[in-house]
């Protein structure tokens, strides 16, 4: 029955296919979002996600349960950086020394008026997109994982290999930059 070598492989391939459909396919939208924000455009994102899905399929046996989305996004993130290292000039990829970024102290937040909140809320999607795209890589990545992919602090910390406190401070910095830009406090030239 299942002991026969032929029957065994077919069964396990079928099983892996079922698992792939269950673990990977529901999260393709999130995978595309992350890849799009990391690589900067939609067409590249599809290539990256396809590559990531090949890796996910090869490694599906290593999925130990838990949050399938976080698992897939970790692979997508790695695939994005691998892809950019191969296809982009180094200057774009350069993540820099993240410690430097984390040490930057946030700008003083003096005037905290509520009209700003209204301005931010009214900002159109194109402006928000442009502002996110202008964030430093490490901040953008954290913001996208949290606010677009909806991962928890803990999941992001595990994925990036940094303490939760770092995730929190990067997120605060990223949002601070967005709010500054969208709230019109320091209008860029």
Partner 1 sequence: MSPHENRPREDGLPEDPQDMKLMIHALVDGELDAAAALAVERRMAADPELAAEHARLVALSGAVANVPRPTVSDDFLARIAAIATVKDPEEAEVAQAESVKAEASVQRQQQGKVIEMRPRASRWFNSFDWRQMAASIVLTAFLASGVTQWLTTADNGSDSFAVAVANGHRRSLLAATPVDIFSSDRHTVKPWLDGRIGVSPAAPDMAKDGYALLGGRVEVIGDRPMPALVYRHHEHLITLVAAPRQNEAKSVPVADDLSAGGFLLVHWTDDAFSYWAISDAERPALDDFVARFRAAIIANPAAGSPG
Interface with partner 1 (CB under 8 A): 1-3, 8, 10-22, 24-25, 28-29, 32-33, 36, 42, 45-46, 49-50, 53-54, 57, 61, 63-66, 106, 109, 112-114, 116-118, 120-121, 123, 125, 128-129, 132, 143, 146-148, 152-153, 168-169, 171-172, 175, 178-179, 182-183
Residue 66 structure tokens: 């838990």
- Of 94 and 109, nearer to partner 1 (C-beta) is 109
Residue 40 structure tokens: 């900067």
- Of 26 and 96, nearer to partner 1 (C-beta) is 26
Q: Shortest gap between Cβ of 90 and partner 1 (angstroms)?
A: 26
Cβ contact 44:83 at 8 Å: yes
- Of 100 and 129, nearer to partner 1 (C-beta) is 129
- Of 3 and 90, nearer to partner 1 (C-beta) is 3
CA 131 to chain centre: 16
Alpha helices in 62-163 (DSSP H): 68-87, 90-93, 98-103, 115-122, 125-134, 137-143, 153-160
d(CA 36, CA 32): 6
Q: Shortest gap between Cβ of 73 and partner 1 (angstroms)?
A: 14
d(CA 99, CA 162): 10
């Amino acid at each position: 029955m299942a002991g026969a070598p032929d029957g065994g492989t077919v069964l396990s391939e079928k099983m892996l296919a079922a698992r792939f459909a269950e673990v990977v396919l529901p999260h393709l939208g999130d995978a595309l979002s992350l890849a799009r924000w990391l690589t900067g455009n939609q067409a590249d994102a599809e290539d990256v996600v396809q590559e990531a899905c090949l890796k996910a399929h090869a490694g599906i046996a290593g999925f130990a349960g838990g949050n399938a989305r976080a698992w897939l996004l970790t692979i997508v993130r790695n695939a994005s950086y691998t892809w950019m290292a191969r296809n982009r000039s180094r200057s774009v990829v350069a993540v820099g020394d993240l410690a430097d970024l984390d040490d930057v102290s946030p700008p003083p937040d003096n005037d905290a008026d509520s009209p700003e909140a209204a301005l931010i809320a009214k900002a159109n999607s194109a402006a928000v997109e442009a502002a996110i795209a202008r964030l430093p890589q490490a901040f953008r990545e954290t913001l996208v994982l949290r606010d677009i992919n909806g991962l928890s602090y803990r999941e992001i910390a595990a994925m990036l290999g940094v303490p939760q406190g770092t995730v929190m401070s990067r997120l605060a910095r990223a949002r601070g930059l967005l709010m500054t830009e969208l709230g019109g406090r320091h209008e860029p030239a």
